[in-house]
């Protein structure tokens, strides 16, 4: 009985570094699903920002058409940010 207990203790001591190393690797790596979730969150944020910019652009364009110079500047700034953001948003199939 004592030998079996000692043998188990020896196995536990021998495998401890391997178990610890594999846990460290698991914690240090990002799973594919986690990476996909993160990419999805980032994409939704960019799409939300694009929607706000388009709304801002339309509002400022209308004010600019009425002759407000400051609105023209804001419209142009929104347009520049839209152009910068567009390449990072994928096109849906069929659109």
Q: What is the pLDDT of residues 7-20, one digit of tens each?
A: 555 556 566 565 66
> Which regions of the chain does DSSP assign to beta strands (E)?
none
Distance of CA 82 to the CA centre of its chain: 19
pLDDT confidence band for 67 (50 / 70 / 90):
very high
Average pLDDT (65-79) is 96
Using one digit for the tens of pLDDT, what is the confidence trace for 28-52? 666 888 888 999 999 999 999 999 9
């Amino acid at each position: 009985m004592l030998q079996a207990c000692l043998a188990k203790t020896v196995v536990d001591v021998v495998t401890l570094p391997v178990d610890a190393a594999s846990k460290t690797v698991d914690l240090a790596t990002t799973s594919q699903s986690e990476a996909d979730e993160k990419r999805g969150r980032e994409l939704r944020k960019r799409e939300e920002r694009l929607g706000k910019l388009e709304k801002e652009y339309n509002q400022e364009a209308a004010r600019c058409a009425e002759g407000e110079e400051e609105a023209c500047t804001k419209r142009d700034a929104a347009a520049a940010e839209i152009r910068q953001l567009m390449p990072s948003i994928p096109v849906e199939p069929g659109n």
